[in-house]
Amino acid sequence: MVMKFVICIKNQGYEVSLERGKVYRVLDDEKASQHSLIRVIDESGEDYLFPAEYFVAIKLPKAAEKALVA
């Protein structure tokens, strides 16, 4: 499984759930992406849908991926 990560660039309306500048793990959700949404694991540790425009995809080194997924 390929891990995907994004960095939050906007959190308007989701200040409790998202932290600007923080890296979040993405879960695949084809249906959500058709509606310009992205499924991420938020501050609560649960996965939720957020506007895709609030994030930018990033590529992490393998060591960083391991640390974030552990």
Q: Token digits for 35?
A: 């509606």
Q: How many domains does the chain have?
A: 1
- Cβ proximity of 3 and 61 under 8 Å: no
C-alpha triplet 46, 51, 52: angle, nearest 5°: 95
pLDDT surpassing 80 at residue 31: yes
For a pLDDT cut of 70, what percent of the chain falls above it?
A: 96
pLDDT class of 66 with cuts at 50, 70, 90: confident
pLDDT class of 3 with cuts at 50, 70, 90: low
Q: Which domain holds residue 46?
A: 4-69
29/64 Cα distance (integer angstroms): 23
30/38 Cα distance (integer angstroms): 9
C-beta atoms surrounding 50 within 10 Å: 22
pLDDT for residue 2: 58
- The CATH number that applies at residue 8 is 2.30.30
